[in-house]
Structure 1
Amino acid sequence: MEERRDELTPMMEQYFELCDEYDDCVVLFQVGDFYETFCEAARDVSRRLDITLTQREDSSGEYPMAGIPVDSAESYVETLLDEGYRVAVADQVQDPDETTGVVRRAVTRVVTPGTVVEDELLDDDNNYVACVVEGDSGYGVAFMDVSTGELVATTCGDEGVQDEIDRFAPSEAVAVDSGVFDDDCMVTPYDAFAPDEPSEVVEAYFRNPDALLENDAEVRACGTLLAYAEYTRGEEGEDENRDDDRLDYVNRLRRYDPREHMLLDTVALESLELFEGRRDGDTVFDVLDETSCALGSRKLRSWLRHPLLEVDGIEERLDAVEELNRRTLVREEVRELLRDVYDIERLVTRVSRGRANARDLLALKNTLDVVPRVKEALDDVDSELLGSLHGDLDTMEEVRGLIGRAVRDDPPIEITEGGVVREGFDDELDELRRVENEGREWVASLEKRERERTGIESLKVGFNKVHGYYIEVTNPNLDDVPDDYTRRQTLKNSERFYTPELKEREDEILGAEERADKLEYSLFKNVRDDVAEDAERMQKVAETVAALDALGSLAGVAAENGYTRPEFGDGHVVEGARHPVVERSVDEYVPNDASFEEAGFAVVTGPNMSGKSTYMRSVALVSVLAQVGSFVPADDAHLEPVDRVFTRVGASDDIAGGRSTFMVEMVELAEILHNATRRSLVLLDEVGRGTSTADGLSIARAVTEFIHDEVGAKTMFATHYHELTETADELDGVRNLHFAADRRDGDMVFLHEVVEGAATASYGIEVARMAGVPDEVVDRADAVVDEGHADGKETEDGLQQTRLDTAVDVNGAMNGERKDGGGGTCNEDGTERVVDEIARIDTANTTPMEALNILNRLSKSVDDT
């Protein structure tokens, strides 16, 4: 049909014109009570939404059609977004009853993953659209939450771009290079929405962008996002009188420096399970989030993504949390009050975009009504931050009063059909409603009067939209109809009539009703516009309420779980650290200490399943939570601010990208070694696994030396390479820690307790037995271990390592003597055995590090004599 444009009906011509204009979208075209799609789009939508594909026929022929109800469109739109589509919603913008010819449609909104504002399509978290623009001094990066009006920008180098994207986790992006975004993010080419003059776009919102932003790339990124958000607003919404496309609620632009916060990249976010748990389990955020409203939850999530670095800011939050922790009654009163708070930020957005209905305004008023009570509850707070928030609680009497006077207590959802504006708000409206109501009361009493006058007991008075008011008389009673009745409609078993007086009243009622509905709609829009003028003040209230809620949640969680206030200064010591998630899922959690004062590098050994990874994560989470401003799950914590947490924990691969598990591990390791600083915290777990034992051990040793000598970061390295524990004797500032285990009645018991020193074994076979590996396999593994020891080899966790078990005394060997622990002598056969073992070493394939390890053991055996 697209090829036969000259044969299209006016309606279909209008549809295809919109499809051409919004060629990157599925156009949902309103036809009465349905949004329709046609032709190839209908086939696609029918398949994606699992709805019936029908046929439409008109003068241009027969073609496929598929539609969804207007009243329940959001759920279908959400499915299309999940399927990777943009959706252009084309509404009827003319009243069909007042239009001659085809009703005009216009795209009133473009719905995309990053620009949705409808509550049905959003959760409590921020929903960002990102823009990345390459500039002379790096990449300008901007993030915008169209549903709240938040806009932030920064400049990053090549590596920093990915870190910032990971922190904000946008659901959509406008970018030059789509490769920096993951597969879950819809990407639009930058050129498609880059405005001609980005600085003019930014200037239209913020008077002097040069004072707010640092370079042209940042200006272009912000200008592009603003232009994109304006585009998704559509041609015209309910407010057809708006002068321009400007989004009045977007009035907050913040430039930030990534170095202002602890950096948590995707690897750290995932391995620390801050927001996504394993197997759908609880996350750290789940533990902390006892907020009362969506505003607080969103704020707390933002704080957890961006822990602070500046100690004064951290201490300010900690002071507030401590006061709320101590003052239980104040905390619980505020938290209870905030349960009645709606999402003001998103309400303000809908108000400013002309999409708010009367219930939205009422929700806004009810929320603002809570503010004076919260302010009163905080009247005598001591901490600086709580005092500042108390002062920022604007009670907004004018807005509350306006909405209270204008909007009824239980208004309908539809705002064009009356029942929205409160009586007493407007004299003209009250008069029209009085005429309408008196007319209806007259009609309501008419039935009784006419029955008495005519003697027809079955006489009824009714109304329908087509014929208006009528008097209905059944056929057997038609002879008793008075002469002043005029026939209006004939039915099968009755006739419908009207009287001159009824017709007069009908004209009064319907005329007053129509005029009142139009006037009421106009009055409501005026009220909505007046409320929108205070958008910035209401957004400030939202920010304040969000911070209070987040602080109250942190204080409540601390009180409930026995968290401790951390102290900041020199040194980094944690006593009794606990993992906030794990401790809630076990009957008895064993806390452990961690200190980086005398030794900044800890080699952690011990059995599988003993808790090494959990221990390291718990230490990292103490720092993360402390810099969020939270109390921490520990008995005591004296900390230095950490600029970044690096984690290399767990195995993963990227087969589609051509990277094995080991390659992914090495890429992540390279990131750590290139970017860690003395202020960083590094967690390494089993680095070097996945290749030959010799290569893996060599890498582990070299990494240890590099971090110790060149980086100086606080580091915990969990490993089954027991040779690595020797570094504690060779490098100042390296210590050995291990997890204790015990055998009780022949069974392996993990004590989950960290103690000084290196583990004597990894107990891999015992763990295999506990895991249910068949006895035949476990017994055979035991035998292999015994054979390995007999041959001068040791098998650990399935990896066979060649080593010299016997401490060799070189002088003794030359003299035919050996140390055997029993004071015996070594004969010539023993000497030959050592010489033979050295001769079996493949020197051509032995790495320098492995050779040094062999030489080191020989050297130590000489020292022992």
Structure 2
Amino acid sequence: MDPALGPPEEMAEKRDELTPMMRQYHDLCARYDDALVLFQVGDFYETFCGAAERTARLLEITLTSREDSTGEYPMSGIPIDNAESYIETLLEAGYRVAVADQVEEPGETSGVVDRAVTRVITPGTLTEDELLASDDNNFVAAVAHGNGESPAPRVGDGSRTGGTETLALALLDVSTGDFLATSSRSPDAIADEVSRFDPAEAVLGPNAPRDVLPEECMVTPFDAAAFDRERAASLLSRYYGHPDALLAEDAEIRACGALLAYAEYVRGGEHAASAGSDDEAAPVTEPADPDERSRLEYLTHLTRYDPREYLLLDAVALRSLELFEPRAVHGRDDATLVGVLDETASALGGRTLRDWLRRPLLEPDRIESRLDAVEELTGAVQTREELHDHLRDVYDLERLIGRISRERANARDLRSLRATLAVVPEIRQRLVDADCDRLQRLHDELDPLVDVREAIDEAIVENPPIEITEGDIIADGYDDGLDELRATARDGKQWIEDLEERERERTGIDSLKVGYNSVHGYYIEVTNPNLESVPDDYERRQTLKNSERFVTPELKRREDEIVGAEERADEREYDLFCEVRRDVADEVERVQALANAVATLDAVVALATAAAEYDYCRPEITDTDRRSGLEIDIEGGRHPVVERTQESFVPNDARFDDGRRLAIITGPNMSGKSTYMRQVAQIVLLAQVGSFVPAQSARITPVDRIFTRVGASDDIAGGRSTFMVEMDELATILREADERSLVLLDEVGRGTSTADGLAIARAITEHVHDEVGATTLFATHHHPLTELADDLQAAFPLHFEVEGVDDEVVFHHEIASGAATGSYGIEVATAAGVPETVVERSRELVDGTASAADTTGTARDIDEFERVHTGRDPAAAGGPSPATADGGDDPTDIAAELRALDLGHLTPVEALTELDRLKRMLEE
């Protein structure tokens, strides 16, 4: 346990001697011993002892001290009005935060003010707008086994620990109420789903595998009993009825029930569960009686989904295709696919668009339904623009109704809901004449909730204050009792306003003033020179340097009347506001249904806007029966991100079918190979999202999964080299890809020797072609692989056109059939600014002018590859070399070999070895 958490040792030893307030702090720290307790004292949240020292350093605030009869304690505090910014820093430092608020008014108790934890803030359970990204979900996850025990490990397949038993994943966004569940017998499949949704936090069932979660995901210890099947089912039934009707697996019930229990715990309150420690051996303890939990009324829907219903994108593919984050460390934030497409006007639409990108569709009918809506709005420019303008006035309905249901909404939140509901009729009107079924359904689903809007209008003033306990939030005429109290206070204040003039006339003191302060209340002030004229009924209240302040019996009576009426009015307003808020919360399902419709419409409008602005076309979705092979036929395709960041972009075609499904792509670095492969994958993905695509035309068969092995990276912390990471990713592809997959391979085999790398690359190519059958784009500098196009029926070579001009390389970025004539490594090195001495030395090696003494090295690697894969032994005396095996030492063959050399990927020793081999070819 972090020493800054838990009950302070110096307090624990003398708990019974502590002051009542410090005893409260000690007990809350003991109860929430996995969290840093922020303890309200007046207008500040305070921490004490070790927690104070830690927070003072982390938050860069002053460390002070508190002294009482039991000793002196370090103390540091943050202002409540600005707490969120400090809490964000604590969360980023890896802490959970328990907020202990005063739950009594100081003036209403004779003893110490009672405090209770009202919420526990963790990375995965944030509900504060200031701490949340508005355009994306923030999930907390739960992972559980079917019987709560770890299954037998699989052996020999290189996958994560797991077996034949079901593993379930539950995901909950506490701020919006989105609640999802799925399961699989493969831990790898669960890990892929975790990658899709990227939860910020997770709770794990007994012996559930940690390695299905990314390293950066916070794992919170939670009571194993929460994963008990009966307890989980009981809790789920309180929300959704019998769980067997919703969930297909025992493991799903355990995961969902435990996640609900955790969500209730972090809500806080008198009956919240106490927290556990950072030590997994000391988990939290749930309350035995489930009825003691605080029900989260806005969690109205639990959706079970099958990952096989969507195109699968694992963590590697999400990174490689730059869906949400740029690959470059210093890349532009908008240099992502979502950055290009996100023309949404509301937070609702932004989250929905991201969900569509995470989970592209497989079912052609669902894809066509979205495409129909996008196409209609793409052509209806005025309607699209008017919809966008109205959607900009929509507040975040999901999070609004969440706050309202959790009783954390203020009057301004209700007015924001009312403002959104006022826009809905305008949005519906723009869809009255819609042609496609999807837009017609959206029109019908846009319930304006007139009754809710009118109720808020009637009850809440137009511009209410933030505070809900200080009055001025309920409209005049809404409640007779409140109106009477306001009238009493108003009449009293008018009497006091007239008092000054009356008393001046009565006393003859022209400088007499009537005033008010929060300490002494109302008073009559008379300057010292006029004290002799003060009437006998004046009672002295306060003496100042130059004046005296007085009251009269009537003024005191009126003051009591005014203050009493105002206090009762404030209390009445608060009660009325809470009543209105509860009434609105009762309509949570209607508000959520409206939010879903608005979010869908906003996402469709965004896709239509991108299609119109960037000249995208509607893709044709083929092979609706999914019996034949994949077809990808793209004419004039463009990379949607690169074309937005470059001044010009060269479109290229891509054609794949059952007879052409493995493209071997060659060409120098910077020619466009990686961009081309990614653009094909992104166009396919966009088509399955239901978006128009950057191309002149496109025919797409939905693919089940996109695999990528693109770019060099290592895992130093995990003890894996770049080559090991590459091989691990390749193992996943070869194990899991099939004929319905799209595979991108870039420079496989470059992390080892030339012979080993070429051998691995060739073996993988043959295996993908013969055994996997996936549609594959393989970019390589191993030029001998292009010869496989003659041996493998469905393989074909492609290359990028380049031109060498005066020691410079000109990239045309145009793809063509056949193999590249070379890699132009020296020209690329020159353009990159490699020192001239290195460039010249490289040219000497290529031109054959290097000394014979320089040509010793690793010829054995090359010779071994040739013996294995060509049947020839160039090292044998008199044996033919590869270039002369068909009849002599034709200089043309040697020139071709030189052009085919990939100097950019040869070490100096390997380059010398190649040069020696070519020289021996001439000599022979």
Q: TM-score, normalised by structure 1?
A: 0.91
What is the SS of the residue equivalent to 2:302? strand
Are 1:259 and 2:308 an aligned pair? yes
**Residues 818 and 67 (structure 1 numbering): CA distance in 2 closer, same or farther, change over 3 Å?**
closer
Instruction: Render the CA deviation track for 1:746-795: whole Å, top value 9, x for unaligned.
Output: 4210000000000010011110000001111101111112229998x999
* Equivalent residue letter for 2:447: D
- Write the distance in 1 (CA, Å) between the matches of 2:844 and 2:861: 14
- Write the distance in 1 (CA, Å) between the matches of 2:303 and 2:508: 79
Are 1:216 and 2:276 an aligned pair? no
Select the residue among 312, 317, 339 that pairs with 1:268. 317
Are 1:755 and 2:816 an aligned pair? yes
Are 1:732 and 2:766 an aligned pair? no
Please name the residue that 1:194 is paired with.
Answer: 226
**Residues 180 and 819 (structure 1 numbering): CA distance in 2 closer, same or farther, change over 3 Å?**
closer
Question: 1:589 Cα deviation (Å)?
Answer: 0.5
What is the SS of the residue equivalent to 1:194? helix
Instruction: Render the CA deviation track for 1:385-409: whole Å, top value 9, x for unaligned.
Output: 1111111111101110110000001
Matched-pair contact (CA < 8 Å) for 1:765–1:781: yes
Matched-pair contact (CA < 8 Å) for 2:445–2:597: yes
Instruction: Render the CA deviation track for 1:433-485: whole Å, top value 9, x for unaligned.
Output: 01111211221232233233323232221112221110111212211212221
- Write the distance in 2 (CA, Å) between the matches of 1:728 and 1:820: 19
Are 1:769 and 2:810 an aligned pair? no
Question: 1:817 Cα deviation (Å)?
Answer: 12
Greater mean deviation of Cα atoms: 389-398 or 520-529? 389-398
**Residues 566 and 790 (structure 1 numbering): CA distance in 2 closer, same or farther, change over 3 Å?**
farther
Question: 1:23 Cα deviation (Å)?
Answer: 0.6
Please name the residue that 1:567 is paired with.
Answer: 620
Are 1:392 and 2:448 an aligned pair? no
* Equivalent residue letter for 1:575: E
* Equivalent residue letter for 1:180: V
Instruction: Render the CA deviation track for 1:610-636: whole Å, top value 9, x for unaligned.
Output: 010000000000000010000000111
Please name the residue that 2:897 is paired with.
Answer: none
What is the SS of the residue equivalent to 2:440? helix
- Write the distance in 2 (CA, Å) between the matches of 1:526 and 1:816: 96
* Equivalent residue letter for 2:836: D
What is the SS of the residue equivalent to 2:312? coil
- Write the distance in 1 (CA, Å) between the matches of 2:785 and 2:43: 72
Are 1:182 and 2:218 an aligned pair? no
Matched-pair contact (CA < 8 Å) for 2:522–2:559: yes
- Write the distance in 2 (CA, Å) between the matches of 1:524 and 1:642: 53
**Residues 816 and 767 (structure 1 numbering): CA distance in 2 closer, same or farther, change over 3 Å?**
closer
Are 1:130 and 2:158 an aligned pair? no
Matched-pair contact (CA < 8 Å) for 1:262–1:309: yes
**Residues 264 and 502 (structure 1 numbering): CA distance in 2 closer, same or farther, change over 3 Å?**
same
Matched-pair contact (CA < 8 Å) for 1:794–1:800: no
Q: TM-score, normalised by structure 2?
A: 0.86
- Write the distance in 2 (CA, Å) between the matches of 1:818 and 1:361: 83
Are 1:46 and 2:106 an aligned pair? no
Question: 1:800 Cα deviation (Å)?
Answer: 9.4
Instruction: Render the CA deviation track for 1:490-520: whole Å, top value 9, x for unaligned.
Output: 1222111012221121111111101100000
Please name the residue that 2:118 is paired with.
Answer: 108
Matches within 5 A, 1:587-602: 587-597=647-657, 598-602=659-663
Matched-pair contact (CA < 8 Å) for 2:515–2:525: yes
What is the SS of the residue equivalent to 2:465? coil
- Write the distance in 1 (CA, Å) between the matches of 2:482 and 2:689: 54
Question: 1:815 Cα deviation (Å)?
Answer: 12
Structure 1 unaligned blocks of 5 or more: 835-853
Greater mean deviation of Cα atoms: 768-777 or 736-745? 736-745
Matched-pair contact (CA < 8 Å) for 2:271–2:293: no
Matched-pair contact (CA < 8 Å) for 1:816–1:825: no
**Residues 818 and 213 (structure 1 numbering): CA distance in 2 closer, same or farther, change over 3 Å?**
closer
Please name the residue that 2:557 is paired with.
Answer: 504
- Write the distance in 2 (CA, Å) between the matches of 1:396 and 1:799: 79
**Residues 670 and 515 (structure 1 numbering): CA distance in 2 closer, same or farther, change over 3 Å?**
same
**Residues 432 and 670 (structure 1 numbering): CA distance in 2 closer, same or farther, change over 3 Å?**
same
Please name the residue that 2:78 is paired with.
Answer: 68
* Equivalent residue letter for 2:466: I
Count of aligned pairs = 824
What is the SS of the residue equivalent to 1:716? strand
**Residues 825 and 311 (structure 1 numbering): CA distance in 2 closer, same or farther, change over 3 Å?**
closer
Matches within 5 A, 1:277-292: 277=326, 278=328, 279-281=330-332, 282-292=335-345
Select the residue among 608, 611, 623 that pairs with 2:684. 623
**Residues 431 and 669 (structure 1 numbering): CA distance in 2 closer, same or farther, change over 3 Å?**
same
Please name the residue that 1:585 is paired with.
Answer: 645
Please name the residue that 1:376 is paired with.
Answer: 429
Matched-pair contact (CA < 8 Å) for 1:195–1:227: no
- Write the distance in 2 (CA, Å) between the matches of 1:406 and 1:815: 101
Please name the residue that 2:481 is paired with.
Answer: 428
Please name the residue that 1:706 is paired with.
Answer: 767
Matched-pair contact (CA < 8 Å) for 1:237–1:355: no
Are 1:9 and 2:15 an aligned pair? no
* Equivalent residue letter for 2:652: N
Greater mean deviation of Cα atoms: 484-493 or 648-657? 484-493
Matched-pair contact (CA < 8 Å) for 1:324–1:331: yes
* Equivalent residue letter for 2:66: R
- Write the distance in 1 (CA, Å) between the matches of 2:616 and 2:551: 79
Question: 1:89 Cα deviation (Å)?
Answer: 0.5
Select the residue among 80, 85, 91 that pairs with 1:81. 91
Greater mean deviation of Cα atoms: 186-195 or 733-742? 186-195
- Write the distance in 2 (CA, Å) between the matches of 1:629 and 1:799: 53
Select the residue among 544, 548, 566 that pairs with 1:513. 566
- Write the distance in 2 (CA, Å) between the matches of 1:424 and 1:818: 101
- Write the distance in 2 (CA, Å) between the matches of 1:740 and 1:109: 62
Matched-pair contact (CA < 8 Å) for 1:601–1:714: yes
Question: 1:208 Cα deviation (Å)?
Answer: 1.8
**Residues 555 and 98 (structure 1 numbering): CA distance in 2 closer, same or farther, change over 3 Å?**
same
- Write the distance in 2 (CA, Å) between the matches of 1:738 and 1:253: 50
Matches within 5 A, 1:421-460: 421-460=474-513
Select the residue among 29, 34, 39 that pairs with 2:44. 34
Matched-pair contact (CA < 8 Å) for 2:118–2:267: yes
Matched-pair contact (CA < 8 Å) for 2:372–2:436: yes
**Residues 820 and 701 (structure 1 numbering): CA distance in 2 closer, same or farther, change over 3 Å?**
closer
Greater mean deviation of Cα atoms: 695-704 or 189-198? 189-198
* Equivalent residue letter for 2:722: T
Matched-pair contact (CA < 8 Å) for 1:575–1:637: yes
What is the SS of the residue equivalent to 1:638? strand
Matches within 5 A, 1:116-155: 116-124=126-134, 125-135=136-146, 137-155=165-183
Select the residue among 636, 648, 653 that pairs with 1:576. 636
- Write the distance in 2 (CA, Å) between the matches of 1:145 and 1:604: 43
**Residues 527 and 819 (structure 1 numbering): CA distance in 2 closer, same or farther, change over 3 Å?**
closer
* Equivalent residue letter for 2:166: G
Matched-pair contact (CA < 8 Å) for 2:666–2:783: yes
Please name the residue that 1:842 is paired with.
Answer: none
* Equivalent residue letter for 2:112: V
Matches within 5 A, 1:284-683: 284-570=337-623, 571-597=631-657, 598-683=659-744
Please name the residue that 1:851 is paired with.
Answer: none
* Equivalent residue letter for 1:146: V
- Write the distance in 1 (CA, Å) between the matches of 2:541 and 2:171: 64
- Write the distance in 1 (CA, Å) between the matches of 2:879 and 2:591: 90
Matched-pair contact (CA < 8 Å) for 2:755–2:861: no
Structure 2 unaligned blocks of 5 or more: 1-9, 148-164, 273-290, 624-630, 895-913
* Equivalent residue letter for 2:381: T
- Write the distance in 1 (CA, Å) between the matches of 2:239 and 2:877: 87
**Residues 744 and 492 (structure 1 numbering): CA distance in 2 closer, same or farther, change over 3 Å?**
same
What is the SS of the residue equivalent to 2:828? helix
* Equivalent residue letter for 1:330: T
* Equivalent residue letter for 1:420: I
Question: 1:357 Cα deviation (Å)?
Answer: 0.2
Greater mean deviation of Cα atoms: 41-50 or 313-322? 41-50
